[in-house]
Amino acid sequence: MGSRKLRIVVMLACLAALALLPFVAEKFYVQLFTKMLIMGIFAMSLDLLIGYAGLVSFGHAAYFGVAGYVLALISPQYAAASLWTTLPVAMGVSALLALVIGALVLRTSGIYFIMVTLAFSQMLFYLFHDTKIAGGTDGIYVYVRPAADILGWKPFDLENVAHLYLVVLALFAGVFVLLRTMLGSLFGRVIEGIRINEHRMRSLGYPTFRYKLACFVISGALAGLAGYLAAIQFGFVNPDMLGWHVSGLVMMMVILGGMGTLIGPAVGAMAMMLLELALQSLPEFGGVNFGKHWQLFMGSFIVLVALLLPYGLIGLLRARGQAGGGNGHG
């Protein structure tokens, strides 16, 4: 268990380093990292499904986007809503949604599961896109960020970039620890068993459906947390937040980082966003504007990852250390 202690120390060090960022870096980079951490939470929530339970959800944006919409819809126009009420509500709605959808989609498996999760997220996309529930295609603003006051005491101010960042960082760490704990628990053992061999789990006496559903709901709620934070950061939600491109993007993050490793997807999220920044600023060269066609490179990159990095970046590191790379996908 020495290596485990070491890993914990390393992580705490990283956490401390990240916590210093707002005191050294300028506003934009603090915001950039805030976004990265938010996407990191999103990616970890999906990793719980894909990497640990073996449930390839292609509609995870639904829970992400819905939470954002909930915040936008329940916060008063020009006054701050309370963080302590809106956050639980938003996550609750996402969880509830995951419960309903999960109860239906978990009846299917394999390709069907992938496609049905996609179909449900598209349904929600059109619900917000085609109706006036929340500004239709234009989307809807969150004019004022929620306030964190507790009986007059103001622990932090989300309007403040540094504060928001630190809060997100804390939540990121919290989610990580929570998921680690969960995966080390009896529950974690069961969903892992389900991923490897669900049929056998059933014959051993596990009501696998219930466990998968629980997993789906938890994952949905955490995706909701990420969506809620994203809505706070930019004060703007629109239907594309639930679109299948976002679902694809986060799936990409999970695999790029290395699914079934939890920290991997978080790394993947950051790598993806940095890569995008880099590719978009490609120079014009030999008459061809690479910057304009940056998606060509992004696409090729994704293809290569799928072919060459089944265990993602983390897998790359692990492969150097002990072969295999721990939690591969079964």
Partner 1 sequence: MSFETFLIQLLNGVQYGLLLFLVASGLTLVFGIMGVINLAHGSFYMIGAYLAWSLSERLGNLWAAIAVGVVLAVLLGMLLEWLLIKKLYARDHLYQVLLTYGLILVFEELRSVIWGDDVHGVQVPSMLAASIPLTETLSYPVVRLWISVVCLVLAVGMYLLIQRTRIGMMIRAGASNREMIQSLGINIQLLYRIVFALGIALAAFAGMISAPVSSVFPGMGNQVLIICFVVVVIGGIGSVKGAMVAAILIGLVDTFGKVLHVELGGVKLLPELAGMTVYLLMAVVLVWRPVGIFGRRL
Partner 2 sequence: MSEFRKTNAGRRKFLQDGAAVGGAVALAGLLPSVAMAQGAGKIKLGLMLPYSGTYGQIGVGITNAFKLAIEENGGKLGGRDIEYVTLDDESEPSKAADNANRLVNRDKVDVLVGTVHSGVQMGMVKIARESGVLHIIPNAGVAAATTGLCAPNIFRTSFANAQPAYPMGKIAVDKGIKNVVTLAWRYGAGEESVEGFKDNFVKHGGRIVKDLWLPFPNVEFQALLTEIASLKPDGVFVFFAGGGAAKFLRDWQAAGLKGKITLMGAGFLTDGVLEAVGGAAEGIETTLHYGDGIETPKNKAFRLAFAKAYKMQPDVYAVQGYDAGLLLVAGMRAVKGDIRRKKEIIAAMEKVEIDSPRGKWRMSAAHNPIQDIYLRKVVGLENKVIGVAQRALDYPPASLCKMPPH
Partner 3 sequence: MAEPAAGEVLLRARGVARHFGGLAAVNDVSIECRMGEVQAVIGPNGAGKTTLINLLSGDLPLSSGRIELRGRDITGLASHQISRLGLGRSYQKTNVFLSLTAFENCRLAAQSRLASSMRFFRPALRYRAPAEAAERALAEVGLEARAGAPLAALSHGERRQVEIAMTLATDPKVLLLDEPLAGMGAEESARIVELLQKLVRDHAILLVEHDMDAVFTVANVLTVMVNGSVLESGPPKQIRASRAVQEAYLGTDDGGQG
Q: What are phi and psi of 291, to 5 degrees?
A: -55, -40
Segment interacting with partner 2, rule: CB under 8 A, options 178-186, 214-222, 235-243, 307-315:
235-243
DSSP classification of residue 289: E
Q: Which is nearer to partner 2, 27 or 107 (CB)?
A: 27
189-218 residues in contact with partner 3 (CB under 8 A) are 189-190, 193, 196-197, 199-208, 210-211, 214
Q: Cα 145 from chain centroid?
A: 21
Q: Least distance from C-beta 318 to partner 3, angstroms?
A: 15
Q: What are phi and psi of 141, to 5 degrees?
A: -95, 150
Tell whether residue 234 is a contact of partner 2 (CB under 8 A): yes
Tell me the residue ranges of DSSP E strands in 24-111. none
Q: Smallest Cα–Cα separation from 128: which of 31, 49, 291, 241?
A: 241
- Dump the DSSP string for 134-149: TTGGG-EE--SPPB--
Segment interacting with partner 2, rule: CB under 8 A, options 122-130, 169-177, 261-269, 308-316:
122-130
For residues 115 and 130, what is the distance between their CA atoms, to the nearest angstrom?
A: 22
Q: How many CA atoms lie within 13 A of 245 on its CB side?
A: 4
Q: Least distance from C-beta 206 to partner 1, angstroms?
A: 20
Segment interacting with partner 2, rule: CB under 8 A, options 48-56, 139-147, 185-193, 215-223:
139-147
Partner interacting with residue 246 (select from partner 2, partner 1, partner 3, none; CB below 5-8 Å by kind):
partner 2
Q: Which is nearer to partner 1, 185 or 300 (CB)?
A: 300
Binding footprint of partner 1 on the chain (CB under 8 A): 50, 56, 58, 104-105, 107-112, 114-116, 118-120, 122-123, 126-127, 129-131, 244, 248, 251-252, 255, 259, 288, 293, 295-296, 298-303, 305-307, 310, 329
289-318 residues in contact with partner 2 (CB under 8 A) are 289, 291-295
For residues 117 and 56, what is the distance between their CA atoms, to the nearest angstrom?
A: 9
For residues 98 and 49, what is the distance between their CA atoms, to the nearest angstrom?
A: 12
| Amino acid at residue number 112 | Y
Residue 62 contacts residue 194 (beta carbons within 8 Å):
no
Task: Using CB under 8 A, list all residues that contact partner 2.
Answer: 27-29, 31-32, 35, 77-78, 126, 129-130, 132, 135-139, 141, 143, 234-236, 238-241, 243, 245-246, 277, 280, 289, 291-295
